[in-house]
Amino acid sequence: MSSDLPSPCPVVVAQNLVKSYAPARRGGTETVVLSGIDMTVGPGEFVAIVGPSGSGKSTLLSCLAGLEPPTGGHVLLLGEDPAKLSRGRLARLRRSGVGFVFQSFNLIPSLSARENVALPARLSGRRVRLADVTAALAAVGLENRGSHRPGELSGGQQQRVAIARVLAARPRVVFADEPTGALDGAAGTAVLGLLTEAARTGSAVVLVTHDLDAAARADRVIVLRDGAVHGELRAPVAADIFAAVHGDPAGALR
Ligand code: ADP
C-alpha cells in the first residue's frame, strides 16, 4: 500500500474512480456512470451509500469490491489494486478478506443452511469445524434451522443465513447491496442489526441502500448524484439523509 495513506490503513480506497460503458452500437454515446469518485472506508467503519435510482450506487459498490474493473482512476481493496491482480489472486483476496450480501441472498438451493455457511471455507480448502458453523448460525438466531434448505426458510431467514456465511469467514470488509430490499420491516431490521454488529466487532461495512432508516445506522453516509459524490453526512438521522438525497433544503450536507 502506498505510504501516503492515512493510518490506520483504509480497507477500501477509491481515487478519481471513473466507470463508463462504451456505446451499445456504432454512433451511440458512451454512458458515464461514475465520474471521478474519491472515498475511503476505514477498518470497522460502517459506511452507507445513498442516492437516487440510477445515480451509480451499485456500480460503485461493484468497482470497490473488485467485481467490475474501473475505466479510470484506482481502487485499493485491502491494500491491493484489484485491476492489477491475476484472477486467481483476486479470488483469493475476496475469499480471505471480503464478504458480500446481496438483495437476492445468493444461497445454493440444494444445500442446507449449515452447508451454505460452510461453503466459502470449503471452497478455499480450509477445514470447517461444525462448532464454528453452528456458532455462526446461532449468532443470527438460526441455530435450529441448520438442516433446512433455503426453500424451507423465509426471506428474512435466508438473508440471515447469507450473513452467517459472510460473518463465519470474519471478513475485513462486507459489501452489502440492498440487503433488506426483499425483506419486510422486522426481518430488515434484524439484518441491519447484524451488519451493525459486524461493524462493531471489526469488519468494515459498505452498504448500498435506498432505505434512509437503514442508512441512518451508518457512521457515515455518502450521497451520490449523477455518478459523483454530492456530499457526506456523519452520524445523520434519516431526515438529514432525505434532505441530502432530495435537494438538501435543510443544508444537511457538509
Ligand atoms: P443505482 O444502483 O444507483 O440505481 P446503477 O449503478 O445500477 O445505479 O446504474 C447507474 C447507471 O449505470 C444507470 O443509468 C444504468 O443504466 C447504467 N448502467 C449500469 N450498467 C450498465 C451497462 N452494463 N451498460 C450501460 N449502462 C449501464
The predicted-structure confidence for 59-105, as pLDDT tens digits, reads as follows 999 999 999 999 999 999 999 999 999 999 998 898 889 999 988 89
149-170 pLDDT per residue, tens? 999 999 999 999 999 999 888 8
pLDDT band at 206 (very low <50, low <70, confident <90, very high): very high
| Residue 227 CB less than 6 A away from ligand 1 | no
What is the predicted pLDDT for the residue at 185? Answer: 85
- Atom in ligand 1 nearest the alpha carbon of residue 59: 6
Map residue 81 onto helix, strand or coil: coil
Q: What is the pTM of this model?
A: 0.90
Q: How far is CA 20 from CA 59, 87, 225, in A?
A: 10, 22, 15
Query: 18 C-alpha to center of ligand 1: Å?
Result: 13
| Residue 58 CB less than 6 A away from ligand 1 | yes
* pLDDT of 116 above 80: yes
What is the predicted pLDDT for the residue at 7? Answer: 54
Give the start-to-end residue ranges of the domains of the chain.
Answer: 44-66+96-246
pLDDT band at 248 (very low <50, low <70, confident <90, very high): low
What is the chain's alpha carbon radius of gyration, rounded to the nearest angstrom?
18
Mean pLDDT of 199-208: 94
Query: 56 C-alpha to center of ligand 1: Å?
Result: 6
User: What CA–CA distance (Å, rounded) separates 252 from 239?
Assistant: 9
What is the predicted pLDDT for the residue at 157? Answer: 95
Which of 59, 62, 226 most suits a substitution to test ligand 1, by most atoms within 8 Å of the C-beta?
59
Q: Which three cell numbers stand for residue 14?
A: 477509491
Walk across the sheet containing 31-41 and list its strands. 31-41, 12-21, 72-77
Pick the residue with more confidence: 2 or 221? 221
What is the predicted pLDDT for the residue at 158? Answer: 96
Mean pLDDT of 234-247: 88
Q: Would you state the CATH architecture of domain 44-66+96-246? A: 3-Layer(aba) Sandwich (3.40)
Map residue 84 onto helix, strand or coil: helix
